[in-house]
Every structure is written in structure tokens, then in C-alpha cells.
Chain A
Amino acid sequence: MIEPSEIEAMLRAAFPDGRFAVRDLTGTKDHFDAEIVAAEFASLSLLERHRLVYAALGDAMKQRIHALTLKTHTPEEARR
């Protein structure tokens, strides 16, 4: 189990200028939805973007997060 705020702290460490919205989908603190806007995603495929996010979450992704739905955009994509 993990708090959305902990997830956001890890994302902020990896994406210092990013914007995040993390939601607990089931109230059980292990199924989350995260929308991330970060310049680091520019020119990356969806797979590479998701890999970056999983790397930022490290072991929490393996042990404490059961499911994480991701929406990853660059600032330009988010403005469209």
C-alpha cells in the first residue's frame, strides 16, 4: 500500500518540472491512475515513457502498487 502523495514525491524527484495528478482508484491504496505532464517525454514512444515512470517508482512499483494506469504527455501535447 502507498499514499498518492508518496507516488507524487517519487515522480517529482524524476520529473522536477513535471505536473502530476495521482488518484487512488479503489480506496485500497494499491490501484492508481496517474496523469503526468513532463518535458522528459518528448520524442519518446509510449513504451519508453511508461518505462521512465516505472523506473521513477522503483521497488514501490513491484511491491506496493498493484495496478497503475498511466497517461503521459509532454507540455505541448497537454496544451492541445
Chain B
Amino acid sequence: MNDQVKKQIEDTIRSHRVVLFMKGSRQFPQCGFSARAVEALKRAGATFETVNVLADNDVREGIKEFSNWPTIPQVYVDGKFLGGSDIILSMFESGELQRLVAPPH
């Protein structure tokens, strides 16, 4: 991964508290796992940025190297990798996701 892509990824995860790297967009997810991650974040009350990795192959491959995680979707909170679809869903079921991403009351 070249430095330009790495910087692009770092800037994105630093400028938004919650970022979902996914296949497709929030309105039109192109993969079931990405769609479930969008759903879980929405229902957890998160305000989140999405990045469509299908629109940029450098980011699609770079993000896997960046997090050392081989699949998409990937969720980042406060600049740190949280997990893929499985982990986000189980955190949603346990309520941990809500505590982590819901806006402060």
C-alpha cells in the first residue's frame, strides 16, 4: 500500500468518530455483510461515515493491509479498528456497540 492511500485511510478514520468501510453505500449496500453492518450501526444510534471500497480498489486492498483483517466491511471507532460484520453484530446484540457509538447524552 502506498503512502498516499495509507494517509487517505488515516485521515478518514481520524476525522470521523465512527467509519464503516463497506461494499456499496448506506442506501445501496452491495453485500449482505456490509448491509448488516449498516443496519447494526443505525440501530445502535451511531452517526457514522461510510467509504465505498468498490469505488476505489487501492482503498479496498489497502484497508485490509492497514488493519491486518482480510475482509470487508470494517468498522473503526475513534481511529481504532473494531471488527468486521460478525463482531459488530455480536457487539450490537450484547449492547456493547450502543455504549460505544451512541452520541453522549
Which A residues fall within an 8 A CB radius of B?
46-47, 50-51, 54, 61-62, 67-70
Stretch of B10-18, B46-54, B83-91 lying at the A interface: B83-91
CA of A61 to CA of B70 in the docked complex: distance in angstroms? 7
Question: Do A47 and B71 touch (CB < 8 A)?
Answer: no
B66 at the interface (CB under 8 A from A): no
Chain B residues with CB under 8 A of A54: 69-70
1/0 contact string of B67-105 vs chain A (CB within 8 Å): 011110000000001111111001100000000000000
Which B residues fall within an 8 A CB radius of A?
33, 64, 68-71, 81-87, 90-91
CA of A8 to CA of B69 in the docked complex: distance in angstroms? 20
> Could you jot down 24 A-B contacts, CB within 8 Å?
A46-B83, A46-B86, A46-B87, A46-B90, A47-B81, A47-B82, A47-B83, A47-B87, A50-B83, A50-B84, A50-B86, A50-B87, A51-B68, A51-B69, A54-B69, A54-B70, A61-B70, A61-B71, A62-B64, A62-B70, A68-B71, A69-B85, A69-B86, A70-B86
- Closest Cβ of chain B to A2, distance in Å, is 14
The prevalent SS among residues of A at the interface is helix
Question: Do B33 and A67 touch (CB < 8 A)?
Answer: yes
Determine which residue in B82, B86, B90 has the highest number of CB atoms from chain A within 10 A of its CB, and name it: B86
- Closest Cβ of chain A to B3, distance in Å, is 22
- Closest Cβ of chain B to A10, distance in Å, is 14
CA of A4 to CA of B67 in the docked complex: distance in angstroms? 26
The 3 closest A-B pairs by CB, nearest first: A61-B70, A46-B87, A47-B83
CA of A41 to CA of B72 in the docked complex: distance in angstroms? 23
Chain B residues with CB under 8 A of A50: 83-84, 86-87
